[in-house]
Amino acid sequence: MNGEPPISCNLDCDINTCGSLCCRNCPVLTQDEVEKLISGVREEYGLELIQKRYFRRAKGEHGTYFAAKMIKGQCIFLDKEKRCRIYRCRPLLCRLYPVTDADFVDVRCPLVSGNKISGQVLDALRQRYAGEVDKRIRMEHTFRFED
Ligand code: SF4
Ligand code: SF4
């Protein structure tokens, strides 16, 4: 949807190596982000996502958010080929992967372990994490998921 480099579920990723590892954790979103995603998917893909069917509540210490539902340990938006069905509209946390915190990079991702992503790009993603991820979500340590 914008000019950023595609990272998570990159169509060029060799997912036979990682099995789309990045999509085995559900991204957490604010209500605003869920609404934006739903309208984005409507525009981009012509699909009508029913919030309750695709997202569950995620309660933290600082607020209540939403998370993409998981099916058999994988994000509900992953297709049979293990590619994201809503890639162009994917949540911010997916866009920032393999950065999963302002000071944490998931080294299990082959883009990182295989040095396919530069330190410069990782720094830029870290900065975006610190500046763009909802402040309350950044402060949370754990979430309690509800159906
Ligand atoms: S884990 Fe890394 S290499 Fe695998 S699909 Fe996700 S971003 Fe690509
Ligand atoms: S929304 Fe897409 S990119 Fe994000 S975890 Fe789900 S399948 Fe992966």
pLDDT at residue 119, as a whole number = 93
pLDDT at residue 50, as a whole number = 97
Give the closest residue (by CA) to ligand 1 atom 6. Answer: 22
pLDDT at residue 94, as a whole number = 94
C-alpha span between 72 and 59 (Å, rounded): 21
Ligand 1 neighbour 22 (Cβ under 6 A): yes
Secondary element (H or E) of residue 109: none
Give the closest residue (by CA) to ligand 1 atom 2. Answer: 109
pLDDT at residue 92, as a whole number = 96
Annotate 74-95 with three-state secondary structure.
Answer: EECCECCCCCECCHHHCCHHHH
Domain boundaries, given as residue ranges, for the chain: 15-138
* Closest-approaching ligand to the CA atom of 16: 1
pLDDT along the chain (147 residues), means of 10: 50 82 92 98 97 97 97 93 92 94 92 91 94 96 91
Give the closest residue (by CA) to ligand 2 atom 5. Answer: 23
Ligand 2 neighbour 94 (Cβ under 6 A): yes
Which atom belonging to ligand 1 lies closest to the Cα atom of 17? 4
pLDDT at residue 6, as a whole number = 47
Ligand 1 neighbour 25 (Cβ under 6 A): no
pLDDT at residue 107, as a whole number = 94
**Backbone region of residue 47 per phi and psi (left: phi > 0; alpha: psi in -120 to 50; beta: other values):** beta
C-alpha span between 84 and 37 (Å, rounded): 14
pLDDT at residue 4, as a whole number = 52
